[in-house]
Chain A
Amino acid sequence: MITLQKVSKVFNKTTAVDELSFDVPEGSVFGLLGPNGAGKTTTIRMIMNIIQPDSGYIFIDGKPITADLYRNIGYLPEERGLYQKMKLKETIVYFGTLKGLSKRESAKQADRYLGQFDLKSYADRKIEELSKGNQQKVQFVIAIIHQPDLIILDEPFAGLDPVNQMVLKDIISEFQSAGKTIIFSTHQMEQIEKLCSTICMINDGKRVLYGKLKDIKQNFGNRNFQIQFNGSKEQIADIIENGWELSDTQLSGALDRNTNINDILKKVMSKVTISHVDIIEPSLEQIFIDQVKGGMKR
């Protein structure tokens, strides 16, 4: 649905985005990941045509992005604000009409989402009377009121309590099952591990990792194993490889591509009794840190 080809953007001699390329497949939930300042927001702004790339191309459905495509895109920016003095519902309706809805249609959708987000009683209140979390829900409603096919969410969970995070996730899965394309941008990688099917991880404006989440975890992640056993640890001391750890009851270490868990188990089984085996999937965060060696912490 969206294609970026060697997109670069430079601000005041600082390269914010550096020859970034990726594809967002239609109907996928795509994660654009990276630490603060990696260039995520700049990339999204370029996709939204709010700023223009210095070089490279961005296509939506094979066409360069133009203003008439906006009606099909919903965008929740990272930096969020609202007209504090205005009433809640009329503000939502206004943004709906800016996206091309008629006033009536916009009001209808506004009512529907205000109900879904439990904001109905605030409809005629001024926005400044709403709590921060509620304002954030309003911003999300504004992003989706026109039923876009593509939804871009920049740090959507920041500042939401767990209950509202759940409400948001529910609505997102609703969109997902309706076949809509969703792009997440976040630095909180654990938040979206379960949501995304495809990810692109960037750091310093460059692509670090890109592909299907499953493949990435398989290819880049060092899975870890933990074997708990009964018996004397001296008996298995000779099978230890570099980087493994052995205590009185547990053997643990990383599983790389050349090591098969079955081989390890066979060796251990022949010496001691195994009581428990764990294979620990790597977290995205761990993969990221491994990829960006150099002490980059989030």
Chain B
Amino acid sequence: MRNIFVIARWEYITRIRSKWFIISTLIIPIVLVGFMFLPALVMESSGSEMKLIALIDATHELSDRFEEIIYDRYQLKDGQPKYQVIVLRNHTAEKSIETASALLDSMIIDAYVHIPADIMRENNVKYYSRFLGNYKDQDEVRSVINSILLERRVEDAGLDTQLVKQLTRRVNFEMIEIGRTGEKNQKSEIISYIIPIIFVLMLYFAIVMSSQVLLRSVLEERTNRLVEILLSSVSSTELMSGKILGLGLLGLTQLLFYMICTSLISTYKGLDILTSYHILYFLMYFVLGYMFFSGIFSAFGAIFTSEHDAQQAVSIISVISVLPLLLSSYVIANPTATVTIILSHIPFITPFFMILLIGMDIPPTWHVISSSLILVVSAVLSMLAAGKIFRTAILMYGKRPTLSEIVQWVKSS
């Protein structure tokens, strides 16, 4: 036991201070923060700055009303109007457009709107901006013009403007998501889509990254033959266990760090992103998933003689392990589909799909139990098989074992 801890400690300490580990650990929270705050930042900045827009009104009749409505309807937080409108009144519309383009190019105005003379008939308005990414501004300008045109048409038809306004008022649409437990979560749409993805990324990084570090570590000792010195000090089982334990703790450290970041962010944003129920599942799926993957990866490390040799094999298992990430968007779109349920019972995929579904509050208890049972059995089998392969393969040089030989080792007691 002492040797296992000595090895685990060495693996843990030498890896945790490596630049590579620190960088790869920091990536996730940065992405996380980006996802959580960028949309909000965009919204916020658009809400705090006054926009200058030019209006070219070829009808010469609508501009006053446009200004009235837009000042009245949209205000900044401090009560100032959100839009400042410059009405361009040159001799011709063409001249005005030229002026407006020049103002836009020199970044004096944020956008300009051209209302053509035949607007009542053709119903076309042009909105020019340097970038059209800000849907909110466009929507607001459009809705103002819509209102003006509606008023005009109602008047032209000889109807009561107030009555029509009353009759055509829009419904207030408040979005509320109901969780499986029945409580109401008020979340923005974007966040309820991103949280499950972030859950998968967190677990994926923690499991697959640390398994890959394990593979590298076994390969390194094998290619530089350090393994002989190690095996003259400890048994192969101790060596493998120590490595798996040490690098598992490394992955766990990473996961805990992610969870702390997530809960900090969720507290800050006042959201219930990571509950203690989630944390329990994270820990369970990390342990099981890591057992399963680390068994496979350490056996791979022991089989191949050189990094070069192992490269193809590594790329194959990398593809297999990336699969759950690639399939995540399907699962989010179809969380209760039969395909999702079937795939979630494949041990390679189980931890990631289940944490995804748990992030969405989807899976019923039987689903969690049945998929976890298969994962538990696979994880134990993976460990046992890896132990046998590792013991036999770790000192074999010169010739890569065939698949049937490997099967033979696993079968032999």
Contacts and interface: CB of A to CB of B under 8 A. Distances in A.
Interface of A: 12, 45, 48, 50-51, 67, 70, 73, 75, 77, 79-86, 94-95, 97-99, 139, 142-143
Contact of A84 (B7, B224, B231, B395): B224
B395 A45 contact: yes
Contacts of A97: 6
A202 B9 CA distance: 42
A45 B224 CA distance: 17
A134 to B, nearest CB: 16
Contacts of B18: 85
A86 B232 contact: no
B220 interface: yes
Given A45-B395, A97-B6, A83 B220 contact: yes
Given A81-B224, A86-B14, 15 more contacts: A48-B232, A50-B228, A50-B231, A51-B395, A70-B233, A75-B232, A77-B229, A77-B232, A83-B220, A95-B229, A98-B6, A98-B7, A98-B230, A98-B234, A139-B229
Interface in B359-395: 395
Given A79-B228, A81-B225, A86-B14, A98 B233 contact: yes
Contacts of A86: 14
Given A83-B220, A86-B14, A98-B3, A50 B225 contact: no
B233 A99 contact: yes
Contacts of B235: 67
A73 B234 CA distance: 12
Interface of B: 3, 6-7, 10, 14, 18, 220-221, 223-226, 228-235, 395, 399
B305 to A, nearest CB: 12
Contacts of A50: 228, 231-232, 395
A202 B408 CA distance: 32
A68 B234 CA distance: 9
A75 B226 CA distance: 12
Nearest to B220: A83
A82 B224 contact: yes
Nearest to A94: B10
Contacts of A45: 228, 395
A51 B391 CA distance: 10
A77 B227 CA distance: 10
Contacts of A70: 232-234
A118 B7 CA distance: 28
A81 B223 contact: yes
A84 B216 CA distance: 13
Closest 6 CB pairs of A and B: A81-B224, A79-B225, A77-B228, A75-B232, A98-B233, A81-B225
Nearest to A87: B14
B395 to A, nearest CB: 6
26 contacts: A45-B395, A50-B232, A51-B395, A70-B232, A70-B234, A75-B228, A77-B228, A77-B229, A77-B232, A79-B228, A80-B225, A81-B224, A81-B225, A82-B224, A82-B226, A83-B14, A83-B220, A83-B224, A83-B226, A84-B224, A85-B18, A86-B14, A98-B6, A98-B233, A98-B234, A142-B229
A88 B185 CA distance: 56
A82 to B, nearest CB: 7
Nearest to B5: A97
A75 B229 contact: yes
A257 to B, nearest CB: 43
Contacts of B3: 98
A86 B217 CA distance: 13
B51 to A, nearest CB: 55
Contacts of A84: 224
A84 B220 CA distance: 10
Nearest to A50: B231
A175 B235 CA distance: 27
Contacts of A67: 234-235
Nearest to B217: A83
A51 B394 CA distance: 10
A41 B371 CA distance: 48
Contacts of B232: 48, 50, 70, 73, 75, 77
Contacts of A73: 232
Contacts of B226: 81-83
Residue from B3, B223, B230, B399 with most neighbouring chain A CB atoms (10 Å): B3
A95 B229 CA distance: 9
B223 A95 contact: no
Contacts of B234: 67, 70, 98
A109 to B, nearest CB: 15
Contacts of B10: 94
A73 to B, nearest CB: 7
Contacts of B231: 48, 50
Contacts of A51: 395
A2 B223 CA distance: 30
A8 B405 CA distance: 22
A275 B130 CA distance: 110
A36 B225 CA distance: 18
A75 B14 CA distance: 24
A36 to B, nearest CB: 14
Contacts of B225: 77, 79-81
B410 to A, nearest CB: 18
A138 to B, nearest CB: 11
A97 B232 CA distance: 13
A81 B224 CA distance: 5
